[in-house]
Structure 1
Amino acid sequence: MRRAAVLGKGRLAVHACEVIAGLPDLSLDTVVPTTPEPSWDISLTDAVATRWPEVRVIESGDWRGLEPGRCELVFSVLYDKIIGSDLIDVTPQIINCHPGRLPQYRGVRPVNWALRNGDDLAGITLHIIDDGVDTGPILAEALFSVWPDVDEVRDVWWRAIAHGRQLITDTLPRLQAITPRPQDPAQAVTHYSRDNHRLGDRADWTRAQSVRTR
């Protein structure tokens, strides 16, 4: 039985725990919640305490609290910290759930940037974690329609979460059979927190919020 750890937040991370706990070759061993946990989504810590009380919870939220080599699978689901080589190098499978298309939307706030750019397609991606920022080979992705004239960031975010649930459900049982696909560096764009001021009225959940906070 291989041990697995889930790092991250909210209902999508809880769903990843559900899928892992239901697989015959995996045991949910450790959870590292994003801290502080967002008030606008369910608490990963509370869900684990209620449903899987035997699972270790690293309350600091720091991936460094996960013993290197303890888990054969580490799954980052909307986790907010960059995982270092100390964990990457000793983990047979370490993957990330990124709420955007890759390689076009590496880095922070991919939903916001997709709407800022007027895209009519957005996505959510599972990829291998390497030493770069969202640069690892792609395992699976789901694309879905967006309508920038009417959609707010919160609309597309929750749509991404809904598609992410199915993506995780379909992908985790097939991990051993999937050949990762390298990203095309020629299409790569990375957004950093220092660029957030360029988001304009797409910086918040809704455009009305952006107007109020100016």
Structure 2
Amino acid sequence: MASLRIVFMGTPDFSVPSLQTLYDQGFDIAAVYSQPDKQRGRGKKVSFSPVKEKALELGIPVLQPDTLRDEQVVAELAAFQPDVIIVIAYGKILPKAVLDIPKYGCLNVHGSLLPKYRGAAPIQYAVKDGEAVSGVTIMLLDEGMDTGAILKKAEIKLDPKETTGSLFDKLSVLGAQTLTDVLAHIEEYERNACPQDESQATYTAKIDKETAQIDWTQDAIVIERLIRTLDPHPGAYTWLDGKRLKVWSADVVDGAGAEPGTIIAVTKKNFTVQTGSGALCVREVQPESRKRMQTAQFLQGISLQPGDVLTRE
């Protein structure tokens, strides 16, 4: 069904592999919608979204309305006469007036196995909760938050040291592959669309800065998952001698019965911190105002001793 006329809506890196794959497979992409440009940094330099950058590279028209609830914006979208609208991490809720435009509706690529992990941070929560399997869901959008009928799911096993960043990359590629499978047989998939089981639904909220601060009274396994959840952004952190210290990699090991947050061992390559249950051997850190580094490098410039304590602010 490469003759399908598509309007593509997306903003972050997660959406880019799907846009590239649709283009490579010869789909008729009439336009790309992305969030308005943002000003970043002290110089307030305008930066484009990853999807806008890719669309411009591919020569596809880009539109960036502030809202999709304006009648003129809806009319402009309808004028493209899309057979289907593809929505991947666009960042705006689509009103009914937009949902009703395309013949085959609006398809969404969601980074979890719905109905589990609806909402803003499905990939992060799969890592945070220690899931053995995650995946993507292609669904028909309705007016709810990730509540539409399911067309297809695709699963992937998580690596024991999976981070949000690594899973994000894997699912973005899997999403592109699964989306094109659905589009190739869209009428069949939509005939067999499966409503979601609301009793199994869970929601994910955005990870905030407070969540990123390590609570050493928690179990080592919980903290280790949090560290991987917050990689690459914003990074789990603690405090050492009044300065912020991000922890990027650690292994769960046996504890020594000390107070949580106490450093119980130091070698040339790493140091070990007592938690509420068990301990964490810290492999990679980032001192305040410096780059990520192996713990061995960090220890060369600091005198860290067993008995020193990592704290909360």
User: For this structure pair, what is the TM-score category when the shorter chain's length is used for normalisation?
Assistant: 0.7 to 0.9
Aligned to 1:8: 10
TM-score after normalising by structure 1: 0.80
User: What SS class does the counterpart of residue 141 from structure 1 fall into?
Assistant: strand
**Structure 2: runs of 5+ lacking an equivalent:** 41-47, 214-225, 238-244, 247-312
- The aligned amino acid for 1:175 is I
Is 1:204 the counterpart of 2:215 in the alignment? Answer: no
CA distance in 2, matches of 1:119, 1:75: 28
Q: 1:96 aligns with which of 103, 108, 112?
A: 108
Relative to structure 1, is the Cα distance of residues 21 and 160 closer, same or farther in structure 2, using a 3 angstrom cutoff?
closer
C-alpha contact (below 8 Å) 2:118/2:201 kept by paired residues: yes
| Greater C-alpha Rg | 2
**Which one scores higher on RCO, CA 8 angstroms, separation ≥ 6?**
1
Q: Is 118-127 or 88-97 further displaced after alignment?
A: 88-97
The CA deviation at 1:81 is: 1.5
CA distance in 1, matches of 2:195, 2:87: 19
Q: CA RMSD in A?
A: 3.1
Query: 1:4-44 CA deviation, whole Å, 9 max, x = no partner?
Result: 200003555344334444667x521110123448x9x9832
C-alpha contact (below 8 Å) 2:142/2:148 kept by paired residues: yes
User: What SS class does the counterpart of residue 187 from structure 2 fall into?
Assistant: helix
Aligned to 2:98: 87
User: What SS class does the counterpart of residue 82 from structure 2 fall into?
Assistant: coil
CA distance in 2, matches of 1:99, 1:112: 10
CA distance in 1, matches of 2:174, 2:32: 22
TM-score after normalising by structure 2: 0.57
- Any residues of structure 2 matched to 1:1-214 within 5 Å, and which? 2-10=4-12, 13-21=15-23, 27-36=28-37, 43-52=50-59, 55-60=60-65, 62-64=67-69, 65-66=73-74, 67-69=76-78, 70-92=81-103, 93-148=105-160, 150-178=161-189, 179-193=192-206, 201=226, 204-206=230-232, 209-211=235-237, 212=245
C-alpha contact (below 8 Å) 1:152/1:207 kept by paired residues: no
C-alpha contact (below 8 Å) 1:116/1:199 kept by paired residues: no
CA distance in 1, matches of 2:88, 2:117: 16
C-alpha contact (below 8 Å) 1:32/1:62 kept by paired residues: no
CA distance in 1, matches of 2:34, 2:49: 11
Relative to structure 1, is the Cα distance of residues 9 and 210 closer, same or farther in structure 2, using a 3 angstrom cutoff?
same
**Structure 1: runs of 5+ lacking an equivalent:** none
The CA deviation at 1:62 is: 4.4
Relative to structure 1, is the Cα distance of residues 22 and 145 closer, same or farther in structure 2, using a 3 angstrom cutoff?
closer
State the percentage of identical aligned residues. 21
User: What SS class does the counterpart of residue 79 from structure 1 fall into?
Assistant: coil
**Size of the alignment, in residue pairs?**
208
- Greater strand percent: which structure? 2
The CA deviation at 1:131 is: 0.8
CA distance in 1, matches of 2:166, 2:181: 23
